[in-house]
Amino acid sequence: MDREPALARRRWWIIAILPVVIALGTLAGFALGGGGIPSFGMPDPVTEQGRRTHTLWQVLFIAAIGVGALVWALIAWSVLRYRGRGDTERMPSQKAYNIPMEIVYTVAPIIAIIAIFIGTVIVQNKNSALSAAPDVRIEVTGYQWQWKFDYPADGVTIIGTSEPGADPEIVLPVDATIRFDLKTTDVIHSFWVPRFLTKRDLIPGVHNEIDVHTTATGTFDGRCAEFCGINHATMNFVVRVVPRAEYEQWITEHQR
């Protein structure tokens, strides 16, 4: 006698969980197709610090997809399960509260926020940690509106010019820890290489420093990410990560 309502309820549940199934199926398709978990708009990292940030971003984005799919599933289930069926005289349940449900939707977000906070603090602390013995040390000086890069151990200095298309280039060895000592001679600037997934401000009177461990070769754009005046848009630089032998050759040539 209750077979028909039971089948109807099962049908609504199947329809309601479709968003969850589609979301999980899409992610599984990416992973099994050889593409791995998608980056969700984040650039591919070329440093260890960037890899940690990238992984955290992926985890949070997947969690957000799961939450969104669950919300849509519950909305779909509510709309379909409790829609009007012509019996307009029937009064829906007027129960004022549901203690177990209220506990779940109060505790679950708190747990999620705590987990996000802990994961973010762990990644931030690891990325901000400084090596006791970096392989290369570069003193970065920002000023309106250019850069100066000093390699104090090798006696090499790279100074940017105002010529269009002549952005200063710094060269780094791959698989090495690089220490950037950051300072400014005027206003606040910001040292940012998007593929490093790491950024740090240059603040007057503040000694900022940051380590990155390079993991891939290539040429990457860098720029000032803090509006610093009328020619802020020209304050760019280039980072070239090369094998160790090529790096040593570059240092020797610039010493000469």
Give per-residue pLDDT as tens, 134-193: 999 999 999 998 999 999 999 999 998 877 667 899 999 999 999 999 999 999 999 999
113 shares a domain with 140: no
The domain that holds 249 is classified in CATH as 2.60.40.420
The CB density around residue 208, as the number of other CB atoms within 10 Å, is 15
Question: What rounded mean pLDDT belongs to the chain?
Answer: 84
In a domain, 88, yes or no: no
- pTM over 0.75? The answer is yes
Tokens 């987990």 — which residue?
A: 115
Domain count of the chain?
A: 2
143 shares a domain with 124: no
46 shares a domain with 17: yes
CA distance linking residue 15 with residue 74, whole number of Å: 10
DSSP E strands, the chain: 136-143, 146-151, 156-159, 169-173, 177-184, 189-193, 198-202, 208-213, 218-224, 236-242
Domain that holds residue 8: 3-83+97-128
Residue 144 structure tokens: 């309106």
149 shares a domain with 116: no
245 shares a domain with 144: yes
Q: Which residues contact 62 (CB under 8 A, 6 or more apart)?
A: 27, 37
206 shares a domain with 104: no
Q: What is the pLDDT of residues 197-244, one digit of tens each?
A: 989 999 999 999 999 999 999 999 999 999 999 989 889 999 999 999
Quote helix, strand, coil % in the chain, to nearest 5.
Answer: 45, 25, 30
CA distance linking residue 169 with residue 237, whole number of Å: 6
